[in-house]
Amino acid sequence: MTATHNQMANAIRFLSVDAVQAANSGHPGMPMGMADVATVLFTEFLKFDPKAPKWLDRDRFVLSAGHGSMLIYSLLHLTGYKVSLGDIKNFRQMGAKTAGHPEYGHVDGVETTTGPLGQGITTAVGMALAEKMQSARYGAKSVDHYTYTIAGDGCLMEGISQEAISMAGHLKLNKLIVMWDDNEICIDGNTNMTTSDNQCARFEASGWDTQVIDGHDPVAIKKAIAAARKSKKPSLIACKTVIGFGAPTKAGSHSTHGAPLGDEEIAGMRKALDWNHGPFVVPKDVKAAWLKAGARGAVDRAAWEKRTKRLKSTKELKATSAGKLPAGWTRKLDAFKKKTAEEQPKLATRQASGKVLEVLTAAIPAMIGGSADLTGSVNTMTPSTPSITNKDFSGRYIHYGVREHAMGAVMNGLALHGGFVPYSGTFAVFADYMKGAMRLSALMEQRVVYVLTHDSIGLGEDGPTHQPVETLAMLRAMPNFNVMRPCDVVETAECWQLALEQNKTPTGMVLTRQGLAPQRKTHKTENMCARGAYVLAEGKGGSAKRKVTLLATGSEVEIAMAARDMLQKDGVSTAVVSMPCWELFDAQDAAYRAKVLGKGTVKVGVEAAMRFGWDKYIGADGGFVGMTGFGASAPAPELYQHFGITAVNVAAEAKARL
């Protein structure tokens, strides 16, 4: 006996409500309402194979409305992924792969972490863009898939969604299909309390196709998805649904949004939907129908493998998708370091980064650059990275426009899709705008590089709104996120090398606007920045005679070096420690850290930022020369004098503690 559409959709509904009820926590309403849409998508259209969950040409499915996670867990269990009934029963419990929101890396079939609303739909834009770019490189025989996402009202209320919608429409990402769960309900009640937007008009204004359908009519759903797949534009399907569909007294109510239904309501739902089965029970014929739907993708996968086996590009496609970098790129970077040490140019580290990127992008075709309308300031475009346009996706540079929110999430999508190493630039202070995406980069262990220039009061006249005095502390507080603040061209090259080698950690490249004197004047093949901090200049008489240790990052290293000269002229043996990456330094063994910091020495931290975080290196009684409040608008040299970040003050701070 063949299961009907309603039976298959109801299997999703009851697994969802039973799991939420058992956990006494969760959001049952969305899975209940979108079960019909998901059933049609997964049985009729979505290209996937649970036996090969990382198949490169699979369609990508993103549950942007991640609070409805039981929808995707139910689908993965029913279609044959490694999500057992035990996993469903352990929903939201300690150690379970079925976390409260879908978490990337916890379970096959979850393409991205979706918790913060709006991040999912924007990450999906990155995935759809990646498909276009890979198809342009390797051809439609190798890369030809769609990106689908289910988004809720909350996703579309978040401001990041407009940046995503605008960007996708401009780029004409026609293989991106968004299914909007249009149920008119949010946590507080009806959405008419908070929004009167005409969402279809909004999407259309940004260059999308739109359709409005009954989200409980499988024929209408199938017709709409088929039409969207033929569009030359990205598509929105507004699915009119009833949240908590099937619940006898709570359907259509916000009470189903974020709380268990209760035993009595679930019993009434079983009766209303003619589901005469106990909790977590899926009838054999229904489960068989779902497994059959899950198995159908094996045919497409086998055909793809046969079709691409003899293509020359397949090996490269697989290598780049696995995150591998081409051989020889570090040798080219070392040659650049050697040349720089000999020539000793005085450059801002944003300019140094641009020079390094010229070497790296020429050697690593997978690197994809971009900026938030600041290309000339952040130096992220090179001769090897021509622009990507909606007519030509073979380029390697994305003009994100003034869309920092979207830029971070799109880069996550590029990295998660596979095949690319994304980096992009903006001013460091605007890391505030990207924080949500940066946090997800770290949480998902993605190699994404954030170029953050104009990193201190050294940017000068733009004033305190642009001077990120507290940003370094914020970024350093984030787990699994490396903050790199190099002091010259050589350190910049070394930090870029580390950023690319750390394939499970995102990086913030924090760079200056102002020119910096070279500090690394003797070439060393060894990457001195790899241990996070190192003795740039030892005190007179060696480490045993050292009395003072000056610790600095970035533009303040040269100030520390000048202060060292003053102190040593006065007979005080002083070392300067460059600390380009605290996170890497903290990972070193205790003996190395103690040797660098200098046991028993006076310690002074120097950084044009707030003191927060420095005490673990200099001690609560250590000296610090930096900022104590917001900056001001003036030329950079005057600001350093005004705020007392000078060699004279650094030397005085040290002497006061001798």
What would the two tokens of residue 19 be?
A: 């799991």
Count the residues in the chain.
658
Q: CA 177 to CA 151: how far, in whole Å?
A: 10
Q: Do 180 and 210 contact (CB within 8 A), yes or no?
A: no
* Distance of alpha carbon 495 from alpha carbon 450, whole angstroms: 12
- H or E element that contains 562: helix 557-569
d(CA 66, CA 70): 9
Report how far residue 224's alpha carbon sits from residue 230's, in angstroms, rounded to the nearest whole number.
10
Cα–Cα distance list, 454 to 350, 468, 478, 557 (Å):
8, 8, 21, 16
Task: Return d(Cα 47, Cα 168) in angstroms, integer.
Answer: 22
Q: Give the strand order in the sheet containing 602-610.
A: 534-537, 574-578, 548-552, 602-610, 623-627
Tokens of 107: 């379970």
Could you count the other beta carbons within 10 Å of the beta carbon of residue 60? 26
Listed residue (252, 263, 249, 164) closest to 208, CA to CA: 164
Number of helices followed by number of strands (H, E) in the chain? 26, 18
Query: β-strand 189-190 against 185-186: which pairing, if any?
Result: antiparallel
Kind and range of the H or E run holding 18: helix 5-23
* Catalytic residue positions, numbered: 404
Q: Give the whole-angstrom CA distance, residue 514 versus residue 455.
A: 10
Query: What is the token pair recorded at 306?
Result: 């046969």
H or E element in which residue 240 lies: strand 235-240
